[in-house]
Amino acid sequence: MKKCSFLKKYLTLIIVLGACVSCIKDTDFDQATPITLTPIMEVNFVEVQETSTSFLDASGTEKPFISDLIVLEVLSSDFIHDHLTKAELVFEVTNSLNKAFQIKMDFYDPADMLQHSFSIDIDNSPSHIPLVTEHTEVFEAMSLQALKASFKLGITITLVSSATGSVLTPDSEGNLALISKGILYLEYTQ
Amino acid sequence: MGVFVSLHAQNKQLLYGFKDVPQQILLNPGAQVDHRGYIGVPLLSHIHFNAGITGFSAFDVFADDGKDFSQKIRDVVYNMDAKDFFGFNQQLDIFSAGLTLKTSLEEMLFISFGMYQESDVFSYFPKDLAVLAYEGNHNNLNRRFDLGQLNVSAEVLSVFHLGINKKINSKWTVGVRGKIYSSIAQASSTENNGSFRTVQGADNSLNHIFDLDIKLQTSGLSFLEEPNANEGLAVLKKRLLFGGNLGVGIDLGFTHHPAPEWTIDASLQDIGFINYSKDVKNYALDGYLEYDGIQALFPEAVTDQTAQDYWDEVSTVFDELFEIDSTTTAYTKWRPIKLNSSISYNFGRKTDKECNCLDKSDPTFQNRVGAHLFAMKRPNHLQWALSAFYYRKFFKGLQLKTTYTVDAYSFKNVGLGMSAVLGPVQFYIMADNLLDYQNLAKSQSVSLQLGFNYIFKNNDN
C-alpha cells in the first residue's frame, strides 16, 4: 500500500511537471505590422456675425465689400503636414438681410501667394426670414497640398445687387451669420 | 468580451505559508519557522517575476487565424475598458539570512534580514483616450473623454529589512519586520482629473470644452539625462544602497494554532511610505477652456482689432491652457499595502508500522489543506484573490503545494510549488496559471518564483 502511494506520488509529480512544459501554439508573431490609426477630428473654424451697419461706411452708404485676414498658423504645423490626409470645411451661412452676398475665402501662403480659393453665394432674404446656405469645401490631393501650404485666410464679403434685394441702411432688418467647422481626417502609424 | 484571466501581481499564494521555504517569512513575519537558520544564495535566493494584463491575451492578437492584424488590435482596444490594467512586478533578493537566537523549542526568537530589489509597473487602460486616438471626436459629440482614466505608475527600489519572529508558545507565533526603502527611480501619474468634450456651439458650429487636471510626479530620473552611461550607473548603484529617496515601513503578522491541527495566520505588508525629495520633477497641466472658434472681425466695420489680433489671443489662451507647470516639490507616497491571511487544517502524521505508533523521525503533519485570501491596495481598486491550497510533504526533502485561485476575473488559475532539499541546500520553484502553460500565448499572466538557500535544519527535523 505504501509503495503504491509512493508510486502514485511520483506519477502525479511527473504528470504535473509535464503539464508545466509550456509551449506557444497557433500563433504568428510576424504578423505584427505597424498600426495605422485614422481618427477624424472636428474643430471649430471661423464665425461671422454682422448686421447691416458692418457693411456701411461712416456716411451710411454701402461699401462694395468688407474683408478680414486670419492667420492660420496651425495649418503650417508639422503635425498637420505629416498626418492630415483630407480636410473638409463645413460652412453654414444664415442671412436674414435683404441683401445678397458673395463670401470669398482665399488661402495664402507665407509669401502671400494665393494657394486656394472658393466662394459661397448667399441669396437675399426679402421677407427677412433666415435663409440657410450650406457649403462644404473638400480638400484632397492637390487642394490638400494647397491647404497645407497656406498660412493666412482672407475672408471677403462682397455686397451683391439682386432683383429683389434692397440697399442696406443702418436700420435694415436682419443679420448675416456664418458658422463653420473643420473636419480633419488624420492618419498616423505606430 | 474575451475570456479574462486575472493578473496576480504580487500575490504569492504558493509561497505564503510554505514553511519549508525560508522566504515565506517575507510574506508573514509571524510565520511558523521550522529551521534554525538559513543563508540565501546571494542574488539567487528569491527571484520573482510576474507580468500580466487583463482584457486580452497575446493569442487574441497574434493568433494565426488570417484575420487582419489592425482589426484584431482594434477589437482588443474596444473590448477592454478603463478597469483593465497592465502590471509588472519583479523582485530579486540581493542577500538574505536568518538565524535563531534562542533554541528552546517553546520559545525562540528568529531574526531574519536581507535586502531585495523590486520593480513595479502598473497602469490602467485609458479607454477614452484610446477611443479618441482611434475615432477622434467626430461622431463623438457630447462624449466626455475622461482624462482621469490616465493612471500609470512605475518604480524601482531597494528594500533593506530586519524581522523578528517570536514563538510565544505552542499556539502563538508573532512577528514584525522593519523596512527601509530606497527608491531608485519613481514616476507616477495617478491623480488625474478632467475631460475633453465637444458639444454643439451657441455662436459657432461647435464648442470644445477642455477641462485639464493632469499631474506627473517623478523622482530619480535625472540619470536618464546623464551623458556618461557609467556615471549614470554609478548614481543608480549609490541609490540602491540607501542613496535614493528613503522611506520606512513595517510588516506585521502572526500564526495561531487554536488546536494542533488548525492554523490561522495573517499578515500586513508594507505599512509604510517613501518621501521623495531628491531629484524630484513634477509636472502639472491644469486649466479650463471653452473654445468656440475664431471670430472674424472686420476691422473697417467695428474696432481696430483684426482677426490676427484675435488669433494671437486665441493662441495665447491655448498656450496657457497647455502650459506645463514644473515644480520640484517633495512628495510622499504610501507603499501599496498588502494583506495575506489563511486558515488551514493539518492532518496525516507519519506512522511507524513496526510499533504502530507515530514516526518519531518526523512528527509533523504531512498534509495541509486550507484557504488563503490576498488583497492589495491599487490606485483605483482593491485587488483581491482567494485561493484553496493543498500542501503535501512527500518526504523530508520534498514538499509540494498546489493552489487553485479565483478572483474578479479568473476561475481557472492552478499553481504548483515545489521545495526540495538536497543536503543543506534547499531549492524551490513556483508557478501559477499552469493551465495556460499549454499555450502561453493564451495566458494573460505569467508568474514565476524560484530560489536557492542554505538551510540549518532543526536537530529534530
How does pLDDT run across B61-75, given as a tens digit for each residue?
777 787 888 888 888
Q: Which domain holds residue A100?
A: 33-189
Answer yes or no: are the C-beta atoms of B143 and B88 closer than 8 Å: no
What pLDDT does B233 receive?
A: 77
Decide if B72 is inside a domain. Answer: yes
Q: What is the mean pLDDT of chain A?
A: 85
What pLDDT does B11 receive?
A: 84
Cα first-last separation, chain A: 64
User: Which whole number is the average pLDDT over A147-163?
Assistant: 91
- pLDDT band, residue A3 (cuts 50/70/90): very low
Answer yes or no: are the C-beta atoms of A175 and A96 closer than 8 Å: yes
CATH of the domain at A50: 2.60.120.660
Answer yes or no: are the C-beta atoms of B43 and B93 closer than 8 Å: yes
- pLDDT band, residue B96 (cuts 50/70/90): very high
- pLDDT band, residue B301 (cuts 50/70/90): very low
Most confident of the ranges A91-105, B224-238, B401-415: A91-105
Cα separation, B350 vs B394, in Å, equals 11
Say yes or no for a CB contact (<8 Å) between B308 and A70: yes
CATH of the domain at B304: 2.40.160
Say yes or no for a CB contact (<8 Å) between B139 and A155: no
- pLDDT band, residue B173 (cuts 50/70/90): very high
Chain B residues in contact with A181 by the CB 8 A cut-off are 204-206, 293
Q: Which domain holds residue B366?
A: 22-457
Answer yes or no: are the C-beta atoms of B294 and B317 closer than 8 Å: no
Decide if B109 is inside a domain. Answer: yes
Q: Which residues between 53 and 82 in chain B have a beta carbon less than 8 angstroms from any beta carbon of chain A?
A: 58-59, 62-65, 69-70, 73
Q: Is the pLDDT of residue B443 over 80?
A: no
Decide if B448 is inside a domain. Answer: yes
Decide if B312 is inside a domain. Answer: yes
What pLDDT does A179 receive?
A: 94
Chain A residues in contact with B310 by the CB 8 A cut-off are 70
Kindly state whether B160 is in contact with chain A, defined as any CB-CB distance less than 8 angstroms.
no
What pLDDT does B143 receive?
A: 94
Decide if A101 is inside a domain. Answer: yes
What's the structural domain count of chain B? 1
Q: Is the pLDDT of residue A14 over 70?
A: no
User: Which whole number is the average pLDDT over B347-366?
Assistant: 74
- pLDDT band, residue B298 (cuts 50/70/90): confident
Chain A residues in contact with B198 by the CB 8 A cut-off are 42
Least confident of A22-36, B31-45, B341-355: A22-36
Collapse the DSSP code of B434 into the 3-class scheme (helix H, G, I; strand E, B; otherwise coil) and give the result: helix
CA distances B158 to B117, B120, B123, B268, B293, Å, are: 4, 11, 21, 19, 52
Nearest-CB residue to A39 (from B136, B297, B392): B136
Least confident of A40-44, B60-64, B70-74, B366-370: B60-64
Q: Is the pLDDT of residue A11 over 70?
A: no
Q: Is the pLDDT of residue B209 over 60?
A: yes
Decide if A17 is inside a domain. Answer: no
Nearest-CB residue to A42 (from B138, B291, B306): B138
Q: Is the pLDDT of residue B2 over 50?
A: no
Kindly state whether A140 is in contact with chain B, defined as any CB-CB distance less than 8 angstroms.
no
What confidence tens digit (pLDDT) does each residue in B312-336 have? 777 888 888 888 899 999 999 999 8
Sign of CA dihedral B200, B201, B205, B206: negative
- Using a pLDDT cut of 70, give the percent of chain B over it: 89
Exposed (0-12), middle (13-18) or buried (19+): which is B267, by Cβ within 10 Å? buried
> What would the DSSP string read from start to end of A11-36?
HHHHHHHHHHS----SB-GGG----E
Nearest-CB residue to B205 (from A41, A157, A180): A180
- pLDDT band, residue B337 (cuts 50/70/90): very high
What pLDDT does A4 receive?
A: 47
Sign of CA dihedral B227, B229, B231, B232: positive
Decide if A9 is inside a domain. Answer: no
Chain A residues in contact with B438 by the CB 8 A cut-off are 19, 22-23, 25
What confidence tens digit (pLDDT) does each residue in B411-442 have? 788 899 999 998 889 999 998 887 776 666 66
- Tally Cβ neighbours within 10 Å of residue B428: 26
Distance between A103 CA and the closest CA of chain B, angstroms = 12
- pLDDT band, residue B1 (cuts 50/70/90): very low
Decide if B17 is inside a domain. Answer: no
Kindly state whether B308 is in contact with chain A, defined as any CB-CB distance less than 8 angstroms.
yes
Q: What is the mean pLDDT of chain B?
A: 86
Strands B152-167 and B398-406: unpaired
CA distances B94 to A127, B47, B91, B431, Å, are: 88, 10, 9, 21
Decide if B6 is inside a domain. Answer: no
Whole-model pTM: value is: 0.80
CA gyration radius, chain B: 28
Decide if B291 is inside a domain. Answer: yes
Instruction: Using CA atoms of B291, B294, B299, B302 in order, give the dihedral in degrees to the nearest 10.
Output: -40
Kindly state whether B304 is in contact with chain A, defined as any CB-CB distance less than 8 angstroms.
no
Decide if B121 is inside a domain. Answer: yes
Say yes or no for a CB contact (<8 Å) between B293 and A180: yes
Kindly state whether B366 is in contact with chain A, defined as any CB-CB distance less than 8 angstroms.
no
Say yes or no for a CB contact (<8 Å) between A31 and B64: yes
What's the structural domain count of chain A? 1
Decide if A3 is inside a domain. Answer: no
Decide if A18 is inside a domain. Answer: no
User: Which whole number is the average pLDDT over B383-411?
Assistant: 87
Decide if A93 is inside a domain. Answer: yes
Kindly state whether A58 is in contact with chain B, defined as any CB-CB distance less than 8 angstroms.
no
Q: Is the pLDDT of residue B408 over 80?
A: no
What pLDDT does A9 receive?
A: 58
What pLDDT does A24 receive?
A: 63
With b meaning 16 or more CB within 10 Å and e meaning fewer, what string describes B435-451? bbbebbbbbbbbbebbb
Q: Which residue of B has its CA nearest to A36?
A: B70
